[in-house]
Structure 1
């Protein structure tokens, strides 16, 4: 379908609705983009028994598995992010994700001893990499890699690169939480920042970006309630329980969507104060924190313009 001179193409991949926007009608190009996404999904998924990542998981504690270069490089990147100081990112969190089942049928709060047992097999340093062979070995039986927190960013960047190769200067790809923009049609792309636990179209604000990735991670995306308490899908690999701090969501603006994936998780784990302190050291990464106390905190506004859209939220910045 088209809106003025923008053509939109959609598909359901990676468990999410995928949206591609182009400024010329090209169904063949859209089809190739969706095929490219499907190829990468088939490599990375842990939601089916057959993928290169599942081959690694099935061999845990037994032998290394040689994988394709994209899979190896993404795992290497994810391990590095997992070993940063105070990192809430953990590529080996698979056993905990499966235990909680958040967003799937049968989700409930696991027993404390079950969580403790799974924590023992989620150590990122037990993911053994061999650069020469491009092999991955999970040192402990029962270990499982889960690239769900990083795969969409990697794929969004590959789609951007492919569109550039095809001569596309202006466009947008939305992989469900990961938005990668190309060019600056009419001065920039406008991306909404969702209002937590509200209607799907309710926004706390919008941002305008040019040639940037926008990645949001929020407690409202997948959760369940038990005994009057909300349990969301963003797990803390240090405790085994959902992260519990002042935040409802973090939106990261960066050039690469892969960085956006990593930094939303890192910043969510750090909270506003520590997150702001870390961002002062990075000119290339910016963030929008949305807190439970209805406060929106901007790290800076070098790479985007923010327009507040909900008067019940107070706007502040990292220097306040």
Structure 2
């Protein structure tokens, strides 16, 4: 997979070009899963496009209900409530998502781990924290982390968290999964083309009505409104994760909301990871994992995976996987 883009970038912006008279392009933005979702669809008429977008919104809300760790009635919450007590029978959909999450944990050597949620009482990113957690609090949280302690029974479709107090959360994979499922629904509805941007987890299909490819714009870090390079995305996905996207500040140091499952401490520093792959789910998970792993281990992993590429920006330095060619001309 060969990707051309400017060596200077700080964020991804989506641009849609002109369209053929045969089709209309409709956009809609709204808040879902606590984040901004942007829908762009190419359809035969505007009314049908809005109907299709609303169906996609309904699908994402259904998924949110399934994977929410905040809704006490969700299957995910039931799993957490029964940690260390008993297995919980779940839907095939959730069972498979957890199984895939465990597989990603394996290939990233635990850098991606949905049991990081056990730290949610230790680190809070809602503005309520006044002090850094104690060493003992962090160690207690780490003791409840470990994808190996998620026990799946394939025949019964049950999930069991072995350790009392364990929790799972899909914060590092859920938006990507939702984007993939919404795309799958729209494709089944014969929507000819579109883009779903789930707050930085982007997936596309088809082309613009003109036949041109969808483009991701690379913005100039010193001027966010100026695009310095364009990257075509065809039947593919991209996710961006940054250690400074959401953070808390203590003694002048930023702590991001991405927890290192090995240390129990949030990642820090000015780091941004962009991952390209077929599914937004995989992009979402790998972008988080690479932030934890660091550039060397992260790029080494990506270089071994087929159909996957990554770019890592640390401060103003760019690092890339082997399939990416940097075009320094805007």
Shorter-chain TM-score: what band?
0.7 to 0.9
Aligned pairs, number = 303
Distance 2:165 2:30 in 1: 34
Change beyond 3 A, Cα 1:16–1:236? same
When residues 31 and 60 of structure 1 are mapped into structure 2, their CA distance, relative to the original with a 3 A threshold, is: same
- Equivalence for 1:27: 50
CA distance in 2, matches of 1:95, 1:194: 36
In structure 1, what is the equivalent of residue 36 of structure 2?
17
Inter-partner Cα distance in structure 1 for 2:33 and 2:329: 31
Cα distance in 1 for residues equivalent to 2:168 and 2:220: 31
Of 258, 270, 281, the residue aligned with 1:234 is: 258
1:281-296 correspondence to structure 2 within 5 Å:
281-292=304-315, 294-296=316-318
Pair 1:168-2:166 in alignment = no
Higher relative contact order (CA 8 A, sep 6+): 2
Please give the root-mean-square deviation of Cα atoms over the aligned residues, in Å.
Answer: 2.5
Q: Which stretch of the first structure deviates more once superposed, 113-122 or 146-155?
A: 146-155
Residues 1:200 and 1:57: Cα distance change in structure 2 (over 3 Å): farther
2:9 — aligned with what? none
Contact 2:244 2:268 survives alignment (8 Å)? no
Partner of 1:129: 152
CA distance in 2, matches of 1:235, 1:32: 34
Separation in 2 of the partners of 1:94 and 1:231?
A: 16
Please give the alpha-carbon distance, in whole angstroms, between the structure 1 residues aligned to 2:253 and 2:323. Answer: 35
**Counterpart of 2:21?**
none
User: 1:222: which partner in 2?
Assistant: 246
Quick one: structure 1 residues 62 and 243, their matched pair in 2 at CA, closer, same or farther if it must change by over 3 Å? Answer: same
Structure 2 residue matching 1:99: 3-state secondary structure = coil
Match of 2:320 in 1: 298
Q: Among residues 63, 68, 75, which one is paired with 1:45 in the alignment? A: 68
Deviations 1:120-160 (A, max 9, x none): 11121111111111111111111101111111111111112
Partners of 1:133 and 1:278 in 2: how far apart? 33
Query: Could you tell me the TM-score, scaled by structure 2's length?
Result: 0.84
Q: How does 1:201-220 map to 2 (within 5 A)?
A: 206-220=230-244
Partner residue, 1:189: 214
What displacement does 1:300 show?
Answer: 4.3
Q: Report deviation, 1:194.
A: 6.3
Q: Which residue of the partner structure matches residue 8 of structure 2?
A: none
- Out of 80, 88, 103, the position equivalent to 2:111 is 88
Stretches of structure 2 that go unaligned for 5 or more consecutive residues are: 1-15, 19-23
Instruction: Quickly say closer, same or farther: Cα 1:47–1:194, change in 2 above 3 A.
Output: farther
Q: Give 1:105 shift.
A: 2.9
Offset at residue 286 of structure 1 (A): 0.6
Is 2:178 the counterpart of 1:155?
A: yes
Picking from 61, 67, 82, the partner of 1:59 is 82
Normalised by the length of structure 1, the TM-score is 0.86
8 Å CA contact retained: 1:109, 1:226: yes
Secondary structure, aligned partner of 2:304: coil
Secondary structure of the equivalent of 2:284?
Answer: helix
Q: Return the offset for 1:6.
A: 2.1
